[in-house]
Amino acid sequence: MGILSGNPQNEPMHYGEVFGVWSYLTVTKGMLAGYETFINHTGDKDLKTFLEDLTQSMKQEIEQVENLLKVNGVGLPPSPPERPTATLESIPVGARFNDPEIAARVSLDIAAGLVSCSQIMGQSIREDIATMFGQFHMSKATYGARLLRINKDKGWLVPPPLHLQTPEPAHA
């Protein structure tokens, strides 16, 4: 096998891995800045704690992915500036994101992140990269379940129409 027969960290990344990992880093950095803003807009204590935990996890992911790219000689995407802390009362009511809106957006992002991690895992030939994104995937699934519970407990989850009865099939 040549270059693919030893320690995976000594193997070069292929173009798909580089693009997937670099893109993941770019999006995660952007979402982190957005979530820092959401924390300023959040009035619900449980949602605020959730977002603070999630952003800490994202910072750890960013650090791991940046280290991977640096070691492999890949330039890093730019980082948006860290958002300042603001009080909820300093944000005009009409300009605030509402807690259910924040929770719905973050739920959507977590679902997209699960797909992204799965895609990177599937295209990776380096076990260390696949394992890293497998860990990110498990973390996102855990955060997704936690946010689902918050959405249900707060009454923010709006389910689609429930299909309770099945009509009889039409006979032609």
pLDDT tens digits for range 50-89 = 999 999 999 999 999 999 999 999 999 999 999 999 999 9
Find the Cα–Cα–Cα–Cα dihedral 98, 100, 106, 107, rounded to 10°: -170
Q: In this predicted structure, what is the pLDDT of residue 2?
A: 47
- pLDDT classification of 165: cutoffs 50, 70, 90: confident
The three-state (H, E, C) secondary structure of the chain, written as one string: CHHHCCCHHHCCCCHHHHHHHHHHHHHHHHHHHHHHHHHHHCCCHHHHHHHHHHHHHHHHHHHHHHHHHHHCCCCCCCCCCCCCCCCHHHCCHHHCCCHHHHHHHHHHHHHHHHHHHHHHHHHCCCHHHHHHHHHHHHHHHHHHHHHHHHHHHHCCCCCCCCCCCCCCCCCC
Percentage of residues in the chain having pLDDT higher than 90: 83
Whether the per-residue pLDDT at 28 is higher than 90: the answer is yes
Q: What is the spatial distance between Cα 68 and Cα 9, in angstroms, rounded to a whole number?
A: 9
> Cα separations (Å) of 69 from 12, 25, 77?
11, 10, 10
Residue 43 structure tokens: 């009035």
| Cβ neighbours of residue 26 closer than 8 Å, sequence gap 6 or more | 77
Q: In this predicted structure, what is the pLDDT of residue 121?
A: 97
- Which residue has better confidence, 94 or 170? 94
**What mean pLDDT comes out for the span 30-40?**
97
Q: In this predicted structure, what is the pLDDT of residue 168?
A: 80
Whether the per-residue pLDDT at 1 is higher than 50: the answer is no
Q: In this predicted structure, what is the pLDDT of residue 126?
A: 94
pLDDT tens digits for range 129-160 = 999 999 999 999 999 999 999 999 999 998 88
Buried b / exposed e along 133-152 (16+ C-beta atoms within 10 A):
bbebbebbeebbeebeebbe
